[in-house]
């Protein structure tokens, strides 16, 4: 079995040489198509269908990604990277609480793909999460989110008793909930509001923050 010269398990080119321009474009098309297809057909979407949507042949997909799993991973990693990017951007925003909420909102709103991934990974997602580039991207995102969360908690805008792990779980869940609203904008907002409110500090803290004078009369 000759050493594979095409693509590594993670969909990165093995050679240092950059991809030809058209190959680059194809890679992007494939990722986009995969994201879209997985989002609306679920993890059982066939490679053939993804190829169809990307307007390339199946073979092309397998040139870029050695296995279907690698493709799905790549989609997931791309999503995680975007989120990490966003988190870092918001880390320098003036209002820590608002920044955190904004992050959640955006993450929830366009998180379909991650979800598809989670679904794809089915029962043994832990396996995937702990290895390779997914783990790295997840680590990175976690770090960025931790920073955001810390700032918000220090500003007393978010309850102090939750940690990053809980936030991640909530994010995943909220995304799922949002997905379940199936397009109803108002409904999504309500769901988000509940989660956000739940993350706010208890009353005592808020009095302290929002208005120095007690409003209990």
Binding residues vs its own copies (CB under 8 A): 3-5, 39-46, 48-49, 52-53, 118-119, 121-124, 126, 159, 161-163, 165-166, 168-170, 172-178, 180-182, 184, 187, 190-191, 193-199, 202-203, 206-207, 216
The one segment of 43-51, 148-156, 160-168, 200-208 that binds DNA by CB under 7 A: 43-51
By C-beta, is 93 or 170 nearer to its own copies?
A: 170
The one segment of 65-73, 105-113, 122-130, 137-145 that binds DNA by CB under 7 A: 65-73
Q: Does 56 bind DNA (CB under 7 A)?
A: yes
Q: Does 40 bind DNA (CB under 7 A)?
A: no
CA 185 vs CA 160, 178, 181, 192: distances in Å: 30, 9, 8, 11
Closest CB 197 distance from its own copies, rounded Å: 4
Name which position in 8, 9, 10, 13 contacts DNA (CB under 7 A): 13
Burial class (CB in 10 A: 0-12, 13-18, 19+), 74: buried
Find the length of the chain: 217
Closest CB 44 distance from its own copies, rounded Å: 6
Q: Does 111 bind DNA (CB under 7 A)?
A: no
Residue 134's nearest CA partner among 77, 71, 172 is 77
57-60: long-range contacts, CB 8 A cutoff, minimum separation 24: 60/26, 60/30
Sequence-separated (6 or more) residues with CB below 8 Å from residue 200: 157, 158, 159, 206
Taking each continuous run of H as one helix and of E as one strand, the counts in the chain are 11, 0
Name which position in 9, 10, 58, 156 contacts DNA (CB under 7 A): 58
89 binds, among its own copies, DNA, none (CB under 5 to 8 A by kind): none
Closest CB 63 distance from its own copies, rounded Å: 11
SS3 track for 20-85: CHHHHHHHHHHHHHHHHHHHHHCCCCCHHHHHHHHCCCHHHHHHHCCCHHHHHHHHHHHHHHHHHH
Residues of this chain that bind DNA (CB under 7 A): 5-6, 13, 17, 19-23, 26, 44, 46-48, 55-60, 62-64, 66-69
């Amino acid at each position: 079995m000759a050493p594979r010269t095409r693509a590594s398990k993670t969909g990165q080119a093995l050679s240092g040489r950059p991809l030809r321009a058209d190959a680059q474009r194809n890679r992007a098309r494939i990722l986009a198509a995969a994201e879209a297809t997985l989002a609306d057909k679920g993890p059982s979407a066939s490679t053939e269908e993804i190829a169809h949507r990307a307007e390339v042949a199946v073979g092309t997909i397998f040139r870029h990604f050695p296995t279907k799993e690698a493709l799905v991973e790549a989609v997931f990693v791309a999503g995680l990277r975007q989120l990490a990017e966003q988190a870092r951007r918001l880390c320098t925003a003036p209002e820590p609480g608002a920044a955190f909420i904004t992050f959640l909102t955006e993450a929830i709103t366009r998180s379909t793909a991650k979800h598809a991934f989670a679904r794809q990974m089915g029962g043994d997602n832990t396996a995937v999460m702990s290895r390779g580039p997914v783990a790295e991207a997840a680590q990175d995102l976690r770090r960025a989110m931790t920073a955001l969360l810390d700032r918000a908690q220090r500003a007393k805008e978010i309850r102090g008793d939750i940690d990053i792990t809980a936030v991640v779980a909530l994010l995943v869940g909220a995304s799922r909930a949002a997905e379940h609203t199936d397009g109803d904008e108002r409904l999504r907002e309500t769901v988000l509001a509940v989660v956000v409110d739940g993350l706010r500090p208890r009353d005592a803290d808020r009095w302290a923050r929002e208005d120095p004078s007690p409003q209990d009369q």
